Structure 1
Amino acid sequence: MSSRRSFLAGLTALALMPFAAAAADLPDLGGRTVVVVTENAYPPLQFVDPKSGEAKGWEYDAMNEIAKRLNVKVEYQNTSWDAMIQAVSDDQYNIGMTGITIKDERKEKVDFSDPYMRSEQFMLVRGDESRFTDAKSFGEFKDGLIGAQPGTSPFYTAVYNILDGNEQNPRIKLFETFGATVQALKAGDVDVVLTDSVAAQGYVDASNGGLKVVGGPLGSEDFGFIFPKGSDLVAPVNAAIAALKADGTIDALNKKWFLDYKMGE
């Protein structure tokens, strides 16, 4: 199995789960405007194409299709990851999307959709890295530094699955955006970025050999859209997600963004 296909296997496992026939009549939301916020820093889920300047990606395609089926108009806005969950919780936006892992502690602030994707975390390193080959050998490489965004799944995986459980461990360097962690990796300021297979594959493909993945998966996670608590959009969006899974749309998006598409081409 090629590396690209092995990445995809984790992504499509959820999409291939059996579903009863999708509801033929999805809710009609009457053309209402829905404000969706994202970070645009998580290829290929969502990012700004460096050539065209266009915001695009798997989540944009999925959300646009959901909007069409539910008869809503989507207005996209941007914010940073560290502000997103609180901003949605405060009802500044109707939906948040940026590869957000479904976690119980986050459910205290926001409502989640049903999962639309399952992914696994991997170690992203520079293409010429040879000092370590997996999580165990990196943990033993005492000079190695990890770049992460605070409060994210990769941050906690680094702390508790690779290092010593100390969230203040100086081997973790914190950055405001995921893109900044990757830039630090390329520049040699950190040695590893932990990320799910979605972003890892996008950055590897775009790097022309400058980046690679080492080691095996470090656990799986489910992604969902987020909403203010009690939002009346949760049930319609869940119905649309089920329809996209049942009719093969999710499979088609996975093929488009994880098999056929290479960033920068």
Structure 2
Amino acid sequence: MIRRRSLLAGFSALALSPLAAGLATAAGLPDLKGRTIVVVTENAYPPLQFVDPKSGKQIGWEYDAMEEIGKRLNAKITYQNTSWDAMIQAVSDGQYDVGMTGITIKEDRKEKVDFSDPYMRSQQFMLVRGDEKRFSDAKGFAALKDALIGAQPGTTPFYTAVYEVLDGNEQNPRIKLFETFGATVQALKAGDVDMVLTDGTAGQGYVDTSKGGLKLVGGPLGSEDFGFIFKKGSDLVAPVNAAIAALKADGTFDRLNRKWFLDYKMGE
């Protein structure tokens, strides 16, 4: 997030069969008549969106959800990548139609972009090394004056670290900044930082694949709702909201939760 990164070309488009196109009208949802929607993501927040280390493909909960939304609305979805620090402004400027990367719905962000209705609620937990014994909750971490937090600036974990774990100083030297969430986890594994804040489900995914190298400690540090982002005034907000409601109602999101948070194991 500190360095600028060039945009990477998207990897695929969602082709719709006549049957898939008919799902929109059959379900009483808006029909976007094959419109192309450009979705941008960071690919750095498993299991929501990431590059599969085995296949090299871009996959995750949000990809599956967005493809389902495209099917229901009779739209073609294409994907591009950018860094987190560039994403909100790029969507605000109209470079992309939709942004998805586990983006917390916050009032200050609503000044730049429109949000969809929430598609997921999450809670922040402390991710630490498996052999960590010096602290077991936020209070214990704060009292350990030489312990460091890894975070991406401008993210919910960053602000949780500042205001709920430490002293409210956004320049606190105990917070080490990294460009991607994955980089914070690598720094944790390497011993360069001592704790990373993460959504509990994503954090559990890292724990499950760490072979004892990582664990979650302490209780939840607040909850947050995730939403897709759009340029202010976008005509896509209402159709996407209608599709989100349909996917919640018919159990599709529940199936995706089971697939990505319970069944999928990175690297297997």
- Fold match (TM-score > 0.5): yes
% same residue = 84
Other structure's SS at 1:62 match: helix
Alpha-carbon shift at residue 197 of structure 1 (Å) = 1.4
Superposed CA offset, 1:77-133 (max 9, x none): 000000000000000000000000000000000000000000000000011111100
Distance 1:67 1:122 in 2: 32
What letter matches 1:79 in structure 2?
T
Tell whether the 8 Å contact from 2:53 to 2:266 is kept in structure 1 after alignment: no
Distance 2:224 2:50 in 1: 21
CA distance in 1, matches of 2:204, 2:181: 14
Q: For 2:208 and 2:79, locate their aligned partners in 1 and report how far apart those are by CA, in whole Å.
A: 26
In the alignment, is the contact (CA less than 8 A) between 2:123 and 2:224 conserved in 1? yes
Equivalent residue, structure 1, for 2:23: none
Aligned to 2:75: 72
Q: Structure 1, residues 29-52: CA drift from partner, whole Å, max 9, x if none? A: 010110000000000000000110
The reply on whether 1:105 has 2:111 as its aligned counterpart is no
Note the C-alpha offset of 1:198.
Answer: 2.8
Query: Partners in 2 of 1:82 and 1:201 — Cα distance?
Result: 25
Aligned with 1:168: secondary structure?
coil
Give 2:253's aligned residue: 250
CA contact (8 A) 1:45 1:198 kept: no
Matches within 5 A, 1:1-265: 24-265=27-268
TM-score normalised by the chain length of structure 1: 0.90
Q: Which consecutive unaligned segments of at least 5 residues does structure 1 have? A: 1-22
Contact 2:148 2:195 in 1 (8 A): yes
CA distance in 1, matches of 2:126, 2:96: 32
Alignment partners' CA distance in 2, 1:182 and 1:231: 35
Q: Structure 2 counterpart of 1:45, which letter?
A: L
In the alignment, the residues of structure 2 paired with residue 175 and residue 160 of structure 1 have an alpha-carbon distance, to the nearest angstrom, of 19
State the Cα distance separating 1:261 from its structure 2 match. 1.3
Q: Contact 1:43 / 1:198 at 8 angstroms: preserved in 2?
A: no
For residues 117-171 of structure 1, what are the alpha-carbon distances to aligned partners after superposition, in whole Å with 9 as ceiling and x for unaligned? 0000000001111110010100101110000011110011001101011111100
Counterpart residue identity of residue 185, structure 2:
V
Structure 1 residues 184-222: Cα deviation after superposition (integer angstroms, max 9, x where no partner): 001100000001113212211221111110001000000
Number of residue pairs the alignment of both structures matches:
243
Return the alpha-carbon distance in structure 2 between the equivalents of residues 232 and 197 of structure 1: 33
Question: How far apart are the structure 2 equivalents of 1:177 and 1:82?
Answer: 9
Distance in 2, matches of 1:39 and 1:198, equals 18
Range 36-45 or range 23-32, more displaced: 23-32
- 1:209 partner amino acid: G
Poorly superposed stretches of 4+, deviation over 4 Å: none
Distance (whole Å) between structure 2 residues aligned to residue 261 and residue 50 of structure 1: 13
Deviation, structure 1 residue 234: 0.2
Q: Which residue matches 1:14?
A: none
Q: What's the secondary structure of 1:161's corresponding residue?
A: helix
Query: How far apart in 1 are the matches of 2:42 and 2:207?
Result: 20
Distance 2:209 2:112 in 1: 35
